[in-house]
Amino acid sequence: MARHRSPRGRRAHEGSPSPALRRATGSPSTRRAVPVSAPSAPAFPGPLGSTPVRRGAAVVAVAGGALSLMGAAAPAATPEIADVAARSELPAQGDVPEVLMLPAVVPVVPDTDVLDDPTPLVKAVQMAEEQIARAEEERVAAEARAAEEAERAAAEAAEAERRSSVGDCGMDTGQLGAVKDFVRDAAEFLGCIFDVSAMHGVAGRAGTSDHPSGKAIDFMVDSSTGDSLAACALRNMDSLGISYVIWEQRINHGSGWEPMEDRGGATANHMDHVHVSFDSGGGGSLAGC
């Protein structure tokens, strides 16, 4: 005949622990109940403060107005849950609270000082822009200086070449006085070619004249030598920096001879010397005479 258990007996039987659990935890009379409470989910600032963190969930945090994906959370169990599982030799399941997941990355809290006062950031940007502009100015200035130096070196090389083409016949140019250097070079060039022994440079003159400024030379020559010297000077006007030539009461600025007024004497009318005035230093190769 089947035996029937009362509901009260059945509930008592169902609620009694198993032999294995009694051996692990002790007798009912000596066993102390262990309170187990589920740990609360970590709180985050802002909208995430009321959102629980679940197993395997990805956490999104708001930092400085931008969304940041925190990544998968890492599992963490409270000491109480681990203790109950160890003593019962059973996995934490059933009535044991669900294992919570803590975030693997801490949310970034925006710096309120930077957000409230952007002045330091603006100043840093302005300083960087000023440094870039200053570097560009220095680069342009350096390129300009390099171009000037290259141009000066080229001019010096051309002048050296011109001086070497003039040659040195041992002529005494001390009689010219403090004439310009390019005037002295021209005097050596023309004087050596035509073997002129007497020349006049710096001297006082009445009226308008280039002699007082050291930019004129008088070559004392006869008529035949004067014709050749005047022609050679006109042929090298640009190379020697000549502005005009006067010979035998005529003047030539490079576009042909023009007659001059009678000044009353051979020397005053340039009948015994060729007058050569200079404007500035010339350049380029010299033509033969």
Q: Examine residue 3 and state whether it is found in any structural domain, yes or no.
A: no
Rg (CA), the chain: 56
Q: Is residue 25 part of a domain?
A: no
Q: Look at residue 227 in the predicted model and tell me its pLDDT.
A: 95
Q: Are 190 and 247 in contact (CB under 8 A)?
A: no
Q: What is the pLDDT of residue 52?
A: 47
Q: Do 261 and 198 share a domain, yes or no?
A: yes
pLDDT in tens, the chain (289 residues): 444 454 444 444 445 555 544 544 444 444 444 444 444 444 444 444 444 444 444 444 444 444 444 444 444 445 554 554 455 554 545 555 555 666 666 666 666 555 567 788 889 999 999 999 999 999 999 999 999 999 988 877 776 665 666 556 777 788 889 999 899 988 988 999 998 989 999 987 766 788 999 999 999 999 999 999 999 999 999 999 999 999 999 999 999 999 999 999 999 999 999 999 999 877 777 887 8
The confidence score (pLDDT) of residue 80 equals 54
The last residue of a domain, from among 110, 140, 158: 110
Write down the pLDDT at residue 28. Answer: 46
Q: Of 57, 50, 52, 40, nearest to 97 (Cα)?
A: 40
Q: Which residues pair with 100 in a beta bridge?
A: 76
Residues 84 and 178 in one domain: no
The pLDDT assigned to 226 comes to: 95
**Is residue 21 assigned to a domain?**
no
A 10 A CB-CB count for 276 gives 28
Rounded Cα–Cα distance for residues 289 and 275 (Å): 18
Range of the domain at 125: 114-166
In this structure, the dihedral spanned by the alpha carbons of residues 23, 26, 29 and 31, taken in order and rounded to 10 degrees, is -140
Residue 272 lies in a domain: yes
Do 143 and 178 fall into the same domain?
A: no
Whether 208 and 263 share a structural domain: yes
Angle in degrees, 0-180, between the axes of helices 181-194 and 223-235, rounded to the nearest 10: 130
Tell me if 266 is assigned to some domain.
yes
Q: Are residues 70 and 91 in the same domain?
A: yes
- Note whether 69 and 142 are same-domain residues: no
Same-domain pairing of 126 and 194: no
Q: Is residue 23 situated within a structural domain?
A: no
pLDDT computed for residue 287 by the predictor: 81
Asked whether residue 233 is assigned to any structural domain, the reply reads: yes
Q: Are residues 183 and 264 in the same domain?
A: yes
Can you give the pLDDT at residue 262? 93
Are 60 and 93 found together in one domain? yes
> In sequence order, which ranges of the chain are alpha helices (DSSP H)?
7-15, 19-25, 79-88, 112-116, 119-166, 181-194, 223-235, 237-240
Beta bridge partners of 75: 101
Domain identity same for 187 and 100: no
The 3-state DSSP class for residue 157 equals: helix
CA 208 to chain centre: 55
Q: What's residue 74's pLDDT?
A: 44
C-alpha closest to that of 63 among 45, 51, 41: 45
Say whether both 188 and 254 belong to one domain. Answer: yes
Instruction: Pull the structure tokens for residue 183.
Output: 């005037």
Residues 6+ apart with CB under 8 A from 192: 166, 167, 168, 169, 171
Overall domain count for the chain: 3
- What's the rounded Cα separation, in Å, for the pair 246 and 264? 16
Report whether 238 contacts 211 (CB < 8 A): no
Is 153 in the same domain as 209?
Answer: no
Out of 147, 166, 185, a domain closes at 166
Distance CA 192, CA 194 (A): 6
Contact 242, 284 (CB under 8 A): no
Q: Is the dihedral of CA 198, 229, 272, 177 positive or negative?
A: negative
Tokens of 11: 């509930």
| pLDDT of the residue at 143 | 95
Q: Is residue 37 part of a domain?
A: no
- Tell me which of 74, 90, 110 is where a domain ends: 110
Q: What 3-state DSSP class applies to 65?
A: coil
The gap from C-alpha 63 to its chain's centroid, in whole angstroms, comes to 36
